[in-house]
Amino acid sequence: MTRNFKYALFDLDNTVYPQSCGLMQEIGKRMNRFMIERLGLNPEEASRTRDAFLRSHGTTLSALRHHYDIDPDEFLSFVHDIPLDGYLCYDSSLDQMLERLALRKVIFTNADAPHARRVLSRLGILRHFESILDIHFLEFVNKPNRRAYFKVLAEISAQPEECILLEDSLVNIVPAVNLGMTTVLVREGDPKDGAHHHIERIIDFERLMKSLWISDCR
Name the residue ranges covered by the structural domains of the chain: 2-19+88-217, 23-79
Find how far residue 132's CA is from the centre of its chain: 11
Per mean pLDDT, which range of 2-16, 139-153, 170-184 is the poorest? Answer: 2-16
Asked whether the predicted pLDDT for residue 2 surpasses 50, the reply is no
Closest CA to 111 of 162, 77, 155, 158: 77
48-75 mean pLDDT: 95
Identify the pLDDT of residue 215: 54
Q: How far is Cα 154 from Cα 165, in angstroms, rounded to an integer?
A: 15
Helix orientation angle between 60-68 and 43-57, rounded to the nearest 10 degrees: 100
Architecture per CATH, 23-79:
Orthogonal Bundle (1.10)
- Looking at every residue in the chain, the average pLDDT score rounds to 94
Q: Are strands 131-133 and 7-10 parallel, antiparallel or unpaired?
A: unpaired
Identify the pLDDT of residue 213: 73
Under a CB-based contact definition with an 8 Å cutoff, are residues 30 and 143 in contact?
Answer: no
Q: Please state which CATH class domain 2-19+88-217 belongs to.
A: alpha beta
pTM of the model: 0.94
Under a CB-based contact definition with an 8 Å cutoff, are residues 88 and 55 in contact?
Answer: no
